[in-house]
Amino acid sequence: MESRLLSERSSVFHHADPYAVSDYVNQHVGQHCIGLSRTTHPQASLSHRKFAELDLCRISYGGSVRVTSPALETIYHLQVLLNGNCLWRGHQREHHLVPGELLLINPDDPVDLTYSEDCEKFILKVPTRLLDSICDEHRWQRPDGGVRFLRNHYRLEELDGFVNLLAMVCHEAEVNEPLPRVQGHYSQIVASKLLTLMSTNIRRESLNTPAASLERILDYIERNLKLELSAEVLAEQACMSLRSLYALFDRHLGTTPKHYVRLRKLERVHACLSDASCSVRSVTELAMDYGFLHLGRFSETYRQRYGVLPSVTLRNRG
């Protein structure tokens, strides 16, 4: 396995000062600090390739070293242990990695690793924007805080074919005349495999699943209630025909898209009128913000649903 993950053709440092290697890593792979014993003078080695949006790195410090970082911030690290061993420390737990194991570090995870003298790693650096773009392309749902890997270490045999994919990427990175388009495709594949093979906080329902489609539409409505949300707009957002959209709403909600949107707008207005922390200059202005242009009709619809006029709700707010 080790021989397939970057060769000497990608060598940047060989038997070098560990701090010089660390400075290079800070520039290209991820911010960190290293701590070495003052009584030793290890010689470090590093190979590196930029590959589309990814960075490929193979590193050994040549001695026992502690690597720390408050957080990687905008990148993920996937680290494959090739030789030696490595101690990972997390919150009230730790894990000894051995060759053939893989460690995943999220952007907001503190880094605290101790390498053995013979430790050698392959590191894949993945920017957060790449995983976000994959989720957007497939319409996978991710929390507002971004993609997060829920499990941080694996045996490589658990990840069907992933090490072979990494080997192909490394081979492609070292060809004499690299093709940017090919590298871009490989990067997309690597990111997609990470999100499908490993445990994450994203939801990957099929686009063809009615419940998943409806959930995406309702989420879009909630985020855009002040806009004019016609059935045509919703169908375009959902990538479905008007007929399919109407059938989806009828089957799951027993109503039409227009009626549902109008109801959610009315509920949002009612919530704001009732909440003393919500700034309201006037009922008229708030109603118009949510597209109720016929104020007499709006007031009557509001009274029918809530039993009082909107002005009364505003006056009686807590």
Write out pLDDT tens, residues 177-214.
989 999 999 999 999 999 999 999 998 754 455 666 78
Q: Do domains 2-197 and 210-315 have the same CATH topology?
A: no
Structure tokens that stand for 230 in this block: 């016609």
**87 bridge partner residues:** 96, 114
How does DSSP assign 243-267, residue by residue? HHHHHHHHHHHSS-HHHHHHHHHHH
Run of H or E residues at 222:
helix 210-223
**Average pLDDT of the chain to the nearest whole number:** 91
| CATH annotation of 2-197 | 2.60.120.10
The CATH number for 210-315, chosen from 2.60.40.10, 3.30.110.40, 3.50.50.60, 1.10.10.60, is 1.10.10.60
- Along the 318 residues of the chain, how does pLDDT read in single tens digits? 556 899 999 999 999 999 999 999 999 999 999 999 776 788 999 999 999 999 999 999 999 999 999 999 999 999 999 999 999 999 889 999 999 999 999 999 999 999 999 999 999 999 999 999 998 888 788 888 899 999 999 999 899 889 999 999 999 999 999 899 999 999 999 999 999 999 999 987 544 556 667 888 898 899 999 999 999 999 888 888 899 899 999 988 999 999 999 999 999 999 999 888 888 888 999 999 999 999 999 999 999 999 999 999 998 886
Structure tokens that stand for 41 in this block: 């003078």
**What pLDDT is stored for residue 31 in this prediction?**
94
Q: For the segment 59-82, what is each residue's pLDDT rounded down to a tens digit?
A: 999 999 999 999 999 999 999 999
Q: Is 139 helix (H, G, I), strand (E, B) or coil?
A: coil
228: CB partners within 8 A, 6+ apart: 291
Does the global pTM surpass 0.85?
no
CB atoms closer than 10 angstroms to residue 111: 20
Residue type, 211: A
Domain ranges of the chain: 2-197, 210-315
Q: Which residue carries 């190979």 as its tokens? A: 47
Pairwise CA distance, residues 177 & 3, whole Å: 21
